[in-house]
Structure 1
Amino acid sequence: MKITVIGAGSSYCPEIAMGLIQRKEIMQVDEIALMDIDEYKLQIVGNFFQRIMKNHGLNTKITITSDLQEAVKNADFIITQIRVGKMDARINDEKIPLKYNLIGQETTGIGGFFCALRTIEAMEKIAETIEQFSPNAWLINFANPSGIVTEYFLKHTKVKAIGLCNVPITIAETIGDIVGCDYHDLQLESIGLNHLSYITAAYLDGKDVLEQVLKSGNQGPTMANMKRIEIDTDLLRLISAIPSSYLGYYNYRSKKLEELKNEKLTRGEECKLIEEKLMEYYSNEENIEVPEMLNERGGHLYSEAAVSLIESLHTNNHKPHVVNVCNRGVIPFLLDDDVVEVSCFISRDGAESVPLTKNISPASKSLMQSVKLYERLTVQAAVTGDKDTVYEALMAHPLIGDFEKIKPAVEEMLQVNIEYLPKFKV
């Protein structure tokens, strides 16, 4: 069994080691290939990864390489967690839109759009390599925006891809804490898109415990990369579900915009400082355990989500996971080939979507349809390099939709991203 991590210079990567260590009695991993084009960070993180594994008595072969073909060849599972343009590109995604009175964010709005363009451009080469050297491998995509990137893989390549995010598993942990159970024992019912989803039910031993959670007043967790906004009780009543914290950008857009404008540092700038400290820690050869500091970086339960999914695909255990897959009629008001974030039972054959039993409000449906249109157009723009499709996508997005702002913002963001977007060169 070979697992490959593309983007292994990420500060998150050591968490994968911990997920594998926790399952060493369940899965025997023969080789882990750690690949990144940033050789400096790759060596630091790769060596730390090796030390963690050895400290826990695992002698798994660790291959540290910048060669994509070597990393991918004969892999059974491939995790993609790349950040094209590194943290500086993310900071541009967050800062430049604010100049035009637009929300600047890593995965949504115009910043998320350019993140998607850069990421899909890089994924084209990765997809070609997987198709050639590991056509039967399962690809687990964590690269943001996860749902859009997964849609690219499923619509434009032959790669067997499943998208993943840590938001649903973090919500499960919160629900488990409230009702007094291990979150692994919960089966969530999710409806939506990546970073625009709602948990409409949570089953424990066949009983829905979500109402108990909502009555407790808990509004769900807020991810580490944003400030918490208390949801008005009337809005929560209308939603009647636990929303992803990213929905704050839609439900409280003016407040979020002002909040972002008034921050001394963007989240990307904060993460850059955290990563410098983490790399310093990883570089110290005396350190052999994942530090608490990593929680500041975000990505809570990231490794658990990724490695538990690999476990289900490998062991055929049919456990429930919330993942990004093709809709295939599960959400009736979206297209069959739209990638959605829903509950699935996972086996060796892949993901089997669980039929929905709960409804969401008309306003939530409308929002989802608008954002899904934006996502379809985003993939089309990334694949074709067509500037008109760029404008169509951004006009469709509920957080943008103002051409007077879009046109100059696009020009500036194309200029700073052009080295990563060769299709858009004039």
Structure 2
Amino acid sequence: MKRSSIVIAGGGSTYTPEIILMLLDNLDRFPISQIKLYDNDYERQKIVADACEIIIREQAPDIKFLATTDPEEGFTDIDFVMAHIRVGKYEMRDFDEKIPLRNGLVGQETCGPGGIAYGFRSITGVMELVEYMEKYSPNAWMLNYSNPAAIVAEAIRKVKPDSRVLNICDMPIDIEERMAYIAGLNSRKEMDVRYYGLNHFGWWCDIRDKEGNDLMPVIKEYVLEHGYNLESIGKEPRLNDPDWLKTYRFASELYKTDPSVLPSTYLKYYLYPDHAVEESDPDYTRVDLIREGREKRVFEECRRIKECETAKDTTLEIGVHASFIVDLARAIAFNTHERMLLIVENKGAVENLPLTAMVEIPCIVGSNGPEPMVIGEIPWFQKGLIEQQHAVEKLVVEAYFEHSYQKLWQALILSKTMKDADLAKTVLDQLIEANKDFWPELT
């Protein structure tokens, strides 16, 4: 069985150790010859890399390991780029969340003004990685799960429509795992789903077990009362923080807007923006919670592993949400025709949406990439919401490449999270000042 060479771009991420643990746990299905970490922040990556080197040495000493800040070294002789970068790191996420909130708007890293700001930064970083891959390993595939995925995917489609980039997201994976537990199954892999929308903006319209039995009624009944929160059946993962538990519970309200389907949790920011603002503190947002929680915990454990020179008894865990990355890479490497949700150009799969929309739908994945499944027509409610958000994403990407202040202002005005055009202009000017070291100059 062919062994693959991988570079994880964004090697200093707190998610990198759990991705590596997932890869090591699946070597029988997806053999690996080499793992590289690439990041432009040497100090941050070194904390993670020192621990990962020890983990790999103890669990799979035959795998070559390298951590680098040199693009040529990182991207030469690789089969897969697993990309999860955060341009501007948490320092810029502070602005993404807090500037909108201080103006009475949704402050979320992938939705509304914050998501637009983050997207403007991410386009530069992700396009740079695509250039490196195409220059040094032109036959490689990039599995991109850098946020905000919808904006990044549209930028890649516009500039490099034939690139070997697959845009993916773990949010549906997490919710499908919850749906499986609700339905009494052991794993999401025991289900076949039909889903449509944009990234962080979609609905499940059909869920069945492998025998073809309809699971929607039992899942809907549960969601109406509990949302996707699993505390009532004792299945809630122990590391979920109170913010996420509230978000899962709120899915019961989202469900009521259309009981014929099951919603993505992120829709709360678009359908109930005032609620999202009311439950937020503009002086203490998700980024503060992550800094004090996940980042502190992971970095401390990485430092402990390096100090002890062993990863035995580590508290680092396999990232279950990262399992889709292995499945996707394996589908490409071994032509498995895995059925997966991907962000792909519509091209008629959703009949009544624009052909060039980057939609998130089920695809069959093999060595030639994804083959989107036909969804057909979708209802007016979802069509209207999707087309509005799709227009926002198109305007953001056009504004980036045209350096257009006007189009970025229009994108903010059009977002369902925005209140009026004057406020959109005020927020845009504040975001421009905060992002002056990252955004192209707008005119």
Give the TM-score normalised by the residue count of structure 2: 0.88
The Cα shift of 1:290 comes to 9.2
Determine the C-alpha separation between the residues in 2 that align with 1:234 and 1:104: 19
Q: Is the alpha carbon distance of 1:199 and 1:97 closer, same or farther for their aligned partners in structure 2, counting shifts above 3 Å? A: same
> Which sections of structure 2, spanning at least 5 residues, go unmatched?
231-239
SS in structure 2 of the partner of residue 102 of structure 1 = coil
> Aligned residue for 2:337?
318
Give the structure 1 partner of residue 362 of structure 2: 343
Do the aligned residues in 2 keep the contact of 1:135 with 1:159 (CA within 8 Å)?
A: no
Structure 1 position 177 matched with structure 2 position 178: no
Counterpart check, 1:220 vs 2:239: no
Distance (whole Å) between structure 2 residues aligned to residue 330 and residue 12 of structure 1: 33
Deviations 1:181-203 (A, max 9, x none): 22222222110011001111122
User: Which residue identity is paired with 1:368?
Assistant: I
Partner Cα separation in structure 2 for residue 154 and residue 221 of structure 1? 35
1:197 maps to 2:216: no
Q: Which 10-residue stretch deviates more, 120-129 or 381-390?
A: 120-129
Counterpart contact for 2:205–2:260, Cα < 8 Å: yes
Residue 395 of structure 2 corresponds to residue 395 of structure 1: no
Separation (CA, whole Å) in 2 of partners of 1:21 and 1:105: 33
- Answering whether residue 219 of structure 2 is matched by residue 209 of structure 1, we say no
Per-residue deviation, 1:278: 1.6
By how many angstroms is 1:401 displaced? 5.3
* Aligned residue type for 1:363: F
> Does residue 161 of structure 1 match 2:169?
no
1:272–1:233 CA distance, 2 compared to 1 (3 A): closer
Q: Secondary structure at the match of 1:189?
A: strand
| 1:288 aligned to which of 287, 311, 318 | 311
State how far apart, in whole Å, the 1-side matches of 2:314 and 2:343 are: 29
Q: Deviations over 1:191-221 (max 9, x none)?
A: 0011001111122123331222112345335
* Deviation at residue 124 of structure 1 after TM alignment: 2.9
Distance 2:322 2:82 in 1: 11
**Deviation of residue 85 (structure 1)?**
0.8
CA offset digits 1:95-151 (Å, max 9, x no partner) = 011122211110010000000000102223222222222222111111110121122
Distance 2:267 2:313 in 1: 31
Query: What is the identity percentage for the equivalent residue pairs of Structure 1 and Structure 2?
Result: 26
Q: SS of the counterpart of 1:418? A: coil
**4+ aligned runs moved over 4 Å, structure 1:** 221-226, 231-235, 289-295
- For the 8 Å contact 2:143–2:165, the answer to whether it is kept is yes
Show the counterpart of 2:33.
30
User: What's the offset of the Cα at 1:178?
Assistant: 2.1
User: Equivalent of 1:386, from 404, 421, 424?
Assistant: 404
Q: CA RMSD in A?
A: 2.3
Give the distance between the partners of 1:232 and 1:27, measured in 2 at CA.
38
Please report the TM-score for the alignment, with normalisation by the length of structure 1.
0.92
Q: Which of 264, 275, 299 does residue 244 from structure 1 map onto?
A: 264
Q: Name the CA distance, whole Å, in 2 between partners of 1:328 and 1:290.
A: 49
- Supply the distance in 1 between the matched residues of 2:28 and 2:175 (Cα, whole angstroms): 27
Contact in 2 for aligned 1:9/1:41 (Cα 8 Å)? yes
> Is residue 32 of structure 2 the alignment partner of residue 20 of structure 1?
no
Matches of 1:292 and 1:240 in 2, distance apart?
Answer: 42
Superimposed CA distance per residue, residues 207-239 of structure 1 (whole angstroms, 9 cap, x where no aligned partner): 331222112345335986643253456953724
Decide whether aligned partners of structure 1 residues 366 and 291 sit closer, same or farther in structure 2, where only a CA change above 3 A counts: farther
C-alpha contact (below 8 Å) 2:6/2:35 kept by paired residues: yes
Task: Determine if contact 2:353/2:383 at 8 Å carries over to the other structure.
Answer: no
Which residue of structure 2 aligns with residue 362 of structure 1?
A: 380
Q: Which amino acid aligns with 1:328?
A: K
Is it true that 1:424 corresponds to 2:441 in the alignment? Answer: yes
Q: How does 1:296-335 map to 2 (within 5 A)?
A: 301-335=320-354
In the alignment, residue 196 of structure 2 is paired with which amino acid?
I
Give the whole-Å Cα distance in 2 for the aligned partners of 1:146 and 1:188: 21
Match of 1:100 among 84, 98, 103: 103
Instruction: Give the partner amino acid of 1:42.
Output: Q
2:346 and 2:355 in contact (8 A); partners too? yes
Q: Secondary structure at the match of 2:311?
A: coil
